[in-house]
A and B are shown apart, each in its own frame.
Chain A
Amino acid sequence: MSGTLSRRKFLAASAAVTAGSLAAPWVARADAREITALLITGGPLYPKYWEKIVQDFTAKTGIKVRYDLLEFTPLTAKVVTLSAARSSQYDVYSTHTAQIDSYFNHFAPLNSYFSDSELADFYPVAVKYLRDPKTGNLAAIPRNMDARVQYYRSDIYQEKGLKPAETWEELVDVGLKLTGNGHYGLVVPGQGDPAQRTFSDLLWQAGGDWVDQANKPAFNSEAGIKALTFYRDLIQKHKIVPPDAVGYQWNENSTEFSSGTVYATFDWPGAFATLSNPETSRVVGKWSTAPYVRDKAPISCAISHAMALNGQSGRKDAAVEFIKYTVGADAQRLQFDQFTNFPSSQTVAKEVIAAAKGPQAIWLQQLETTIANGKEWPKLAGFSKVCTLMFSAIEQALSDQVSPADSLNQAATEAEEIMRRAGAYD
C-alpha cells in the first residue's frame, strides 16, 4: 500500500464522508425506538431531573430519548424557528400556555391520545387555554401549573405590627409603611411579558377582561384604565416599588425579594424552593406566603408549562408515550419534590397538599385557590402580536410617557386591527 494519499482516494473518502453525514439523520430517524425532545431547563436541578425522567422512561419502555435543554426564552425562540421551518428535528417540545396560540397549526393535536377521564384529571383552566378555540384541538398537555401568591417578610411585618395586604388599598398602605432606608415595600416587574402578566392580573381583579363577547379588545375599559393607573402609581406616585422596576422581568423581581431589599412580591411556585435555599436566598426562614391581593375579584393568572407533539414528527406514537410519562403521576411528584412545581394533575396535587405540613401546606392551599379562580388571556388569532403591542403600551404608561387611558386606547385600536388581519373575526 502506498504511503501517500492519492487525489482519487482523497476525493472518494470525502464523498463517502459527505454522503454518510447527509444520510445519518435519515438512518437515525428510521429507528422508531428513539425519539428527540427539546426540553426546558432553568437552574442547576433541571438537567438532573430530565436525566432521571429519561432514564426511567427508557428503562420502562425501551424507547431512547435524545434531548436538548434550553431556558425559557431561547427555547421559545428555537421552537418558533423550527416551526417556521416545519422542522422534524425534535419530536417533542416543552412549551407554555403563554404563546400556545402561535403553534396551533404546528403542534399535533393530542385529543385522541388522552381519554376524557385522563383529561378530566388535569386542572380545567390549564387544559382550556391549551386548546385551539376554533377547532377544539388540544395543542399541548399541562406538565405543571404556574400561578402566583404573595411572598412577604414575616419577620419585618411582625416587627412593625403589619398584616399581609388583602386588597389594593392595603397593598399601598402596607407598602408605604415599609418603604424607606433603601428598602421597598413591594416589587413588581415592569417589562415585557411579566409586565403584561401583572397588568392582566390587575385587569381581572378590577373586573375587566381582555376581550368582550365579540372578541373585540376590551382592556381599555374603565376597569383596564383603573388597573394600569394603579400599577403605574405603585411605581411613580406611591414609590413603594424600586424605580428600576420598569426594566425588571421575573429574575430581577425575585432577586429583589430574595436579597432582602424588598419586603413583598408576587411570585411563582418555584420561588418557594429558591427562597428556602440558603445558596439562593438571604431571607431563609424570614418569609411567609399569603393569597394574591384582590380588588373587585380575587383573580390572577393560572397557566402551565406543557408538553407538545411536533406535527412534523415521524414517530408520533413513541413521542406521545414520552409525553404521557412526563405528565404522569411519578414525574409530577418528582417535580414537586425537586422544584416545588405545583402538579397539573388534580389527583397528584391533592396528594401533595395532604402530605404537606406547616407553611408549605398553607402555601399549597393558597396556590390551589389561585388556580381555581385563575384565568388566562385569550388564545385568539393574532393575540401573540397583540402581546408585543401591550408590552410597549404598558411600559409607556409605567414610565410616565403617556397616560394609562391614552396608552390603552391606542393599543386597543391597533389590537383590533391586528386580530382582524390575523382572522380572529373570520
Chain B
Amino acid sequence: MSTDAQHQASGRRRRSPLPYTWQRGYLLASPALLVMLAILVYPLGYSFIMSFFRWDLSGSAPFIGTGNYTDELFGRQFNQALRNQTIFSVVSITIEVVAGMAIAVLVNGKLRGMRLARTLLLVPPMIAPAVVGLNFRWLFNTQYGLVDALLRMFNMPDIPWLTHPAWALVSVIAADVWQNTPLMVLLFLAGLQSLPQEPLEAATVDGATPWQCFWHIVLPLMRPVIMIALMLRIIDTFRTFDVVWLMTQGGPGGATNLLTVYSYLLAFQAVDFGHAAAVSYIALGMSLLVLGLLYGVPWLLAKRRAI
C-alpha cells in the first residue's frame, strides 16, 4: 500500500466515531435486523399472542388462555382438516419422492433426449401455483374437462373429480404431484451426479445387479439428499393453499380443507382471528414435530448404536 493510501485509510479511521468492535458490527447490521423484526418476528409474535384471545372484531378481545386451541383440537371441522392434511402430505410426498427418484435415475442415464427431458422438468415448478390450480380445475371439470373427455373416448364413465369428496382429494394431490415431482427429480439428479463412482464400479465388477447397486449403494449414499427433499416437501405441504383454493376452495363439504384453507376461512370468512391463529400455530407445531421426528429418530438410533 502506498503512503498516500495508508494516510487516507488511517484518516478515514480517525473520522469514525466508533472503534472497529463487535458492537459496531451489530450497530451497522441493526437497520436490517430492525426490518427483519418488523416484518417477520413482530407479526409472528403478534399472531401467537392473538391465538390466546377471542379476536373477532366484536370490539372487546378477552384473554381466553388456550381456549382457541382446545376448541379447535376437539372441533369437527379442524379434525376433518387435519385428516385431509395428513392424507394430502403423506400421499403426495410419497409419490413425489418415489417418482422423483425413479425419474432422476432414468434421466441420469445416457439415453437420447435426456437433455431435453431435464429442461422440460424445469417447467412445472416454474409455473405459479395459482395457474396450476386454475388449469387443473378445468382439466378435471366433468362437462368440459380434458380428463373426462378422454375417459369418454374409451367408453369409460365420467369421474366426478372435483365434486365427490374422495375424488376431490385425489385431484388436488394430482395437481401437487404434477407441480412438485420435477423439483424432486432435479434435487435427486444433482445428488446422483455428485455420488462417488468407485463403490458402484467395484460393485459392478463384483457382479452386483443394477437393482442391488441402487438399493445397497446409491440409496444409502443419497440419504442426506432425500432427507433435505423430505424436509422441503413437508414444510411445503403444510403451506399449500393456492392450488387447493383455486380448485375446490376446500370443498365439497370440507373434503379438501387443508389446515391453511381452514385457517383462511376462519380468518376471512368467519372473521375469527383467534381461532385462525391457533390453527396456524397447530399446523406449525405439527410440521416441526414431523421434522423433529424425521431428523431426531435416526440421530437417536445412531447414538444408541454407537453406545
A243 touches B160 (CB 8 A): yes
Q: Is the interface of B mostly helix, strand, loop or mixed?
A: loop
A388 touches B269 (CB 8 A): yes
Please, which residues of chain B bring their CB within 8 A of the CB of A244?
141-143, 160, 162-163
Please, which residues of chain A bring their CB within 8 A of the CB of B267?
80
Q: How far is the CB of A44 from chain B (nearest CB, A)?
A: 21
Q: How far is the CB of A116 from chain B (nearest CB, A)?
A: 27
Please, which residues of chain B bring their CB within 8 A of the CB of A401?
165, 252-253, 255
Bound form: Cα–Cα A276–B56 in Å: 42
Q: Which of B209-217, B270-278, B288-296 contacts A (4 or more CB under 8 A)?
A: B270-278
Interface positions, chain B 115-174, Cβ under 8 Å from A, are 141-143, 158, 160, 162-165
Q: Name A395's contact: one of B251, B268, B269, B270 (CB within 8 Å).
A: B251
A76 touches B248 (CB 8 A): no
Contact flags (1/0) for A208-246 with B, using CB distance below 8 Å? 000000000000000000000000000000000011111
Q: Name B143's contact: one of A246, A261, A402 (CB within 8 Å).
A: A261
20 A-B pairs, CB-CB below 8 angstroms?
A80-B57, A84-B273, A182-B143, A190-B163, A190-B252, A191-B251, A243-B142, A243-B160, A244-B160, A244-B162, A385-B272, A392-B257, A395-B252, A395-B254, A398-B252, A399-B163, A399-B164, A399-B253, A401-B252, A423-B58
Q: Name B58's contact: one of A105, A393, A402 (CB within 8 Å).
A: A105
A242 touches B253 (CB 8 A): no
With both beta carbons as reference points, the residue of chain A lying nearest to B272 in the complex is identified as A385
Residue A369 CB within 8 A of the other chain: no
Q: Name A247's contact: one of B55, B163, B257, B269 (CB within 8 Å).
A: B163
Please, which residues of chain B bring their CB within 8 A of the CB of A245?
163
Bound form: Cα–Cα A42–B255 in Å: 30
Residue A281 CB within 8 A of the other chain: no
With both beta carbons as reference points, the residue of chain A lying nearest to B166 in the complex is identified as A401
Bound form: Cα–Cα A396–B267 in Å: 22
Residue A103 CB within 8 A of the other chain: yes
Interface positions, chain A 276-309, Cβ under 8 Å from B, are none
Interface positions, chain A 88-142, Cβ under 8 Å from B, are 99, 102-103, 105-106
B59 touches A242 (CB 8 A): no
With both beta carbons as reference points, the residue of chain A lying nearest to B271 in the complex is identified as A102
Contact flags (1/0) for A380-412 with B, using CB distance below 8 Å? 010011011101111111110110000000100
For A77, A102, A242, A395, which residue has the most chain B Cβ atoms within 10 angstroms?
Answer: A395
Residue A87 CB within 8 A of the other chain: no
B265 touches A388 (CB 8 A): yes
With both beta carbons as reference points, the residue of chain B lying nearest to A414 in the complex is identified as B76
Q: How far is the CB of B118 from chain A (nearest CB, A)?
A: 36
A244-B160, A247-B252, A421-B54 given. 6 additional CB < 8 A pairs? A80-B267, A244-B162, A387-B270, A395-B254, A397-B253, A399-B255
Bound form: Cα–Cα A105–B57 in Å: 7
A392 touches B253 (CB 8 A): yes
Given A191-B249, A392-B77, A398-B252, A84 and B57 contact (CB-CB distance below 8 Å)? yes
Residue A374 CB within 8 A of the other chain: no
Q: How far is the CB of A30 from chain B (nearest CB, A)?
A: 25
Please, which residues of chain B bring their CB within 8 A of the CB of A76?
268
With both beta carbons as reference points, the residue of chain A lying nearest to B56 in the complex is identified as A422
Please, which residues of chain A bring their CB within 8 A of the CB of B54?
421
Residue A164 CB within 8 A of the other chain: no
Please, which residues of chain A bring their CB within 8 A of the CB of B249?
191-192, 247
Please, which residues of chain B bring their CB within 8 A of the CB of A242?
142-143
Chain B contact residue count (CB 8 A cutoff): 34
Please, which residues of chain B bring their CB within 8 A of the CB of A414?
76
Residue A346 CB within 8 A of the other chain: no
Please, which residues of chain B bring their CB within 8 A of the CB of A312?
none
With both beta carbons as reference points, the residue of chain A lying nearest to B275 in the complex is identified as A385
Bound form: Cα–Cα A387–B77 in Å: 13
Residue B235 CB within 8 A of the other chain: no
For A410, A414, A421, which residue has the most chain B Cβ atoms within 10 angstroms?
Answer: A421
Interface positions, chain B 219-257, Cβ under 8 Å from A, are 248-249, 251-255, 257
For B54, B58, B163, B249, which residue has the most chain A Cβ atoms within 10 angstroms?
Answer: B163
Bound form: Cα–Cα A84–B141 in Å: 37
Q: How far is the CB of B143 from chain A (nearest CB, A)?
A: 6
Q: Name A388's contact: one of B162, B266, B273 (CB within 8 Å).
A: B266
B57 touches A83 (CB 8 A): yes
Interface positions, chain A 56-102, Cβ under 8 Å from B, are 76-77, 80-81, 83-84, 99, 102
With both beta carbons as reference points, the residue of chain A lying nearest to B77 in the complex is identified as A392
Q: How far is the CB of A375 from chain B (nearest CB, A)?
A: 21
Contact flags (1/0) for A241-265 with B, using CB distance below 8 Å? 0111111000000000000010000
With both beta carbons as reference points, the residue of chain B lying nearest to A397 in the complex is identified as B253
A392 touches B254 (CB 8 A): yes
B268 touches A80 (CB 8 A): yes
Bound form: Cα–Cα A392–B252 in Å: 7
Bound form: Cα–Cα A391–B163 in Å: 14
A384 touches B270 (CB 8 A): yes
Given A80-B271, A102-B271, A410-B76, A243 and B253 contact (CB-CB distance below 8 Å)? no
Q: How far is the CB of A385 from chain B (nearest CB, A)?
A: 4
Please, which residues of chain B bring their CB within 8 A of the CB of A83?
57
